[in-house]
Amino acid sequence: MDVEGLKAIGAALAIGLGAIGPGVGIGIIGGKAMEAMGRNPEAAGNIRTNMILAIVFAESVAIYALVVAMLLKFV
Amino acid sequence: MLKKLLTVRNLVILLLAIALFVISGLLGLKVPPPEVALAAEPIFHIGSFVVSNALLTTWIVTIILIVVAFITTRRYPKDLTAAKNSELVPSGFGNFIEWVVEGLYGFAEGVAGKWVSKFFPIVMTIFLFIVVSNWIGLIPGVGTIGFLEHPHGDKAGFVANGAFLTAQESHTAGEGFILAPFLRAPSTDLNFTVALALVAVFMAQYFGVKAQKLGYFKKFVDFSGFKQNIGMGILYVIVGVLEAISEVARIISFSFRLFGNIFAGEILLGVLAFLIPFFVTMPFYGLELFIGFIQGFVFFMLALVFFSLATMGHGEEEHH
């Protein structure tokens, strides 16, 4: 196999595997936030803000993987 | 809602957009696919100092922020205690800026407590700087207007038709042109984000020393565990090393979070414009606006939390 092909596989693995963790994490965050909003609808605004913040933190792990994938693919 | 949007003016705008879309297709104004340039292109030199397109945009953002700050505060009287109430009431744009600053000040007060007046100027400046930097990359023309250059290395460029690049590839290496844009969103240059991360982490150390004097460094070098027994002593030393590593890791996570999000967003918009132009790109523009704001807010909040963590010693926490 040539280097280009290996690079493409490496990039795909980096983002593919790197997206699993954050995907599960965001799912849990979203689910728990919905549960909390259902139990206490008055606090929905507050919960939503914190949910978005937590999602961003989980998402940034996926973004690290994406950066690695892009470095492999384009540099 | 839909009836309100269905005005003559909006219809004209929509028709014009579609007409432009069709005309550009009929004229065969095809453009080359987006090229991913990780490093910012240098555009001019001052002496031996290279000014890249991201740096130029950073200066523009700085000027925008200074002008906005000047416009909003220029009508305030010099002596605030002697001023009449009617002179202090903001209006229009000033009102909006005050709303933004006050809202975030209240938020920061909840996190930082009595230190808020020290932290707020720094974190708010970082916040506004990042948000404007992120949004400036979404303005049409930023990243698409620039010099035509011969490609570096052995890659082939594209044939240029007058001032426009076409989608036609030139086959000999080193021939043809690629685009070196005048402007580029500052957050898509790693230099910008690393600089901000360094500022944030350095200021955290500064506030730590300011609050706890030399006791702050006890966090990194701690021999107090040896008083209990040798095992605890070694454990405390290792914890200190880990603390030092986590400070350095913060620089990396700060800078790559911002860089990755905005850089990936720009590529996403570029790629989507080539998959299904115009109609699918629109909602993603909204998403990128939101992400640009959220990333600024995340930087703001993390910097604030790290500052307040640095000012809190171990001893203080136990009394709570």
Out of B55-64, B72-81, B94-103, pick the least confident.
Answer: B72-81
For the whole model, what pTM was predicted? 0.82
Out of B29-38, B127-136, B231-240, pick the least confident.
Answer: B29-38
Q: What is the mean pLDDT of residues B248-268?
A: 88
Secondary structure of residue A58 in the 3-state scheme? helix
CB pairs under 8 A between A and B: 37
Q: How far apart are CA B119 and CA B108, in angstroms?
A: 8
Would the pLDDT of B262 be above 50?
Answer: yes
Q: What is the ipTM of this complex?
A: 0.73
Would the pLDDT of A57 be above 90?
Answer: no
Would the pLDDT of B171 be above 80?
Answer: no
B93 burial via Cβ count (<10 Å: 0-12, 13-18, 19+): exposed
Confidence of residue B318 (pLDDT cuts 50, 70, 90): very low
Would the pLDDT of B112 be above 70?
Answer: yes
Please, which residues have CB within 8 angstroms of residue B56's CB and are 6 or more apart in sequence? B43, B182, B183
Q: Is A57 on the interface with B (CB under 8 A)?
A: yes
Q: What is the mean pLDDT of residues B176-197?
A: 87
Would the pLDDT of B231 be above 80?
Answer: yes
- For chain B, the average pLDDT equals 83
Would the pLDDT of B319 be above 70?
Answer: no
Is the CB of A52 less than 8 angstroms away from the CB of B294? yes
Would the pLDDT of B186 be above 50?
Answer: yes
| CATH 1.10.3720.10 assigned to A3-74 | no
Confidence of residue B154 (pLDDT cuts 50, 70, 90): low
Domain spans, chain B: 30-145+182-311
Out of B96-105, B274-283, B296-305, pick the least confident.
Answer: B274-283
- In angstroms, the separation between the Cα of residue B297 and the nearest Cα of chain A is 9
Would the pLDDT of B122 be above 90?
Answer: yes
Q: How far apart are CA A7 and CA A13, in angstroms?
A: 10
Out of B55-64, B171-180, B278-287, pick the least confident.
Answer: B171-180
Is the CB of B267 less than 8 angstroms away from the CB of A64? no
In this prediction, residue B217 carries a pLDDT of 85
Is the CB of A63 less than 8 angstroms away from the CB of B253? no
Q: Is A53 on the interface with B (CB under 8 A)?
A: yes
Would the pLDDT of B315 be above 80?
Answer: no
Domain spans, chain A: 3-74
Q: Chain B partners of A67 at a C-beta cutoff of 8 Å?
A: 256, 259-260, 263-264
Helices (H) then strands (E): counts for chain B: 10, 6
